[in-house]
Amino acid sequence: MSEPNSASLYVVATPIGNLQDLSPRAATVLSEVAMVAAEDTRHTARLLRHLGVRVPMLSLHEHNESARVDRIDAYLAAGESIALVSDAGTPLISDPGFVLVRELRARGRRIVPVPGACALVTALSAAGLPTDRFTFHGFLPAKGGARRAQLEELSGRAETLVFYESPHRIRDTLTDIGEALGGRHLVVGRELTKTFETFLEGSALELAARMEEDPNQARGEFVVMVAGAPPREKGVGVEVEGEALLAALLAEGAGVKQAAGVASRLLGGARKAWYARAQALKDGD
């Protein structure tokens, strides 16, 4: 290897679309390792062919990762370096590799990052949303109830929220974001670095409607970025306003859950907290 020191596991970022985004260092590592551990060997074979590289590959994905640790460790123990890649972007970022890296670190093996493309950072760099603070939540749960519950837990967070989403769930996810987080500003990055790269912005429900009208906008892989909860004044004023709003909604016949949802969207804060206060008001009545 042209890289210094002993045998290593190289965690190599690969392009998320445009093959020209592969760094020269990554290309060198892939050409000189003893083996490439790949999420999908068929996908990685196309990249290696593009580079003119012939190197053995080993599949490593979420279903076999634990079983691959000993085999890869044996290569490292024998002085042979391995490259770890995912289908696109940086391994471990909503991709396989965490178990392998954790276990090899515990065994004292050398782990070397080879940085490059990452859909999360790529999307944030062009979204125009605050990036001084953000949290990444990977893929939201596939089932609607669990997805809405997680969104409600995040409703009071002030930093930019970032999610990945797939084409068959994007419209449902946008609808749930609209229900849980209200009319906040969203930016959705689609097919990043590819031919049909698109950034859409607006409220969640506006974007869901746009995708309903134009199904092409619901194709591809997505990074969904949501503005954080707006700042709200602390103190007695907001508490009184919230109590009055809940009381008015309950008096008009709204259920506790519905009243909590309205208060959360209008005043911010976790829906669970508003639910508890609404239930207390109802029980007091």
pLDDT tens figures, 32-86: 999 999 999 999 999 999 999 999 999 999 999 999 999 999 999 999 999 999 9
- Is residue 142 within 8 A of residue 115, CB to CB? The reply is no
Find the domain containing 278 and state its range. 236-284
- Is residue 203 within 8 A of residue 175, CB to CB? The reply is no
For 57-185, strand residue ranges (E) read 57-59, 82-85, 110-114, 134-139, 160-165
Chosen domain end from 117, 138, 162: 117
Reduced to 3 states, what is the DSSP secondary structure of residue 106? helix
Assess if residue 231 is contained within a domain. no
At 236 the pLDDT is 42
Claim to verify: residue 17 and residue 108 sit in the same structural domain: yes
Query: Computed over its alpha carbons, how large is the radius of gyration of the chain?
Result: 23
- Tell me: the pLDDT tens digits for 123-144? 999 999 999 999 999 999 999 9
Among 104, 161, 101, 95, which Cα is nearest to 134's? 161
Say whether pLDDT at 284 is over 90. Answer: no
- Is residue 225 within 8 A of residue 124, CB to CB? The reply is yes
How sure is the predictor about 277, in pLDDT bands with cuts at 50, 70 and 90? Answer: confident
At 75 the pLDDT is 97
- Tell me: the pLDDT tens digits for 200-242? 999 999 999 999 999 999 999 999 999 999 876 554 444 557 7
11 CB burial (10 A radius; 0-12, 13-18, 19+): buried
Claim to verify: residue 198 and residue 244 sit in the same structural domain: no
| Cα 148 from Cα 177, distance rounded (Å) | 8
Read off the pLDDT of each residue in 22-28 and give the average, rounded to a whole number: 98
Chosen domain end from 57, 87, 117: 117
Assess if residue 1 is contained within a domain. no
Residues 6+ apart with CB under 8 A from 152: 180, 264, 270, 271, 272
Claim to verify: residue 171 and residue 132 sit in the same structural domain: yes
Reduced to 3 states, what is the DSSP secondary structure of residue 188? strand
Claim to verify: residue 183 and residue 251 sit in the same structural domain: no
Claim to verify: residue 200 and residue 240 sit in the same structural domain: no
How sure is the predictor about 3, in pLDDT bands with cuts at 50, 70 and 90? Answer: very low
- Is residue 165 within 8 A of residue 123, CB to CB? The reply is no
Assess if residue 2 is contained within a domain. no
Among 178, 176, 195, 198, which Cα is nearest to 186's? 178
At 237 the pLDDT is 46
Chosen domain end from 59, 93, 117: 117
- Tell me: the pLDDT tens digits for 231-273? 765 544 445 577 888 888 888 888 888 888 888 777 766 778 8
At 235 the pLDDT is 47
Strands 110-114 and 8-12: parallel
pTM over 0.85: no
- Is residue 163 within 8 A of residue 120, CB to CB? The reply is no
At 285 the pLDDT is 60
- Is residue 119 within 8 A of residue 223, CB to CB? The reply is yes
- The total of structural domains in the chain comes to 3
Claim to verify: residue 22 and residue 53 sit in the same structural domain: yes
Read off the pLDDT of each residue in 7-23 and give the average, rounded to a whole number: 97
- Tell me: the pLDDT tens digits for 94-122? 999 999 999 999 999 999 999 999 999 99
Which helix (H) or strand (E) element contains residue 241? helix 236-251
Claim to verify: residue 213 and residue 167 sit in the same structural domain: yes
Q: What is the CATH number of the domain that holds 153?
A: 3.30.950.10
At 2 the pLDDT is 43
The DSSP output letter for 95 is S
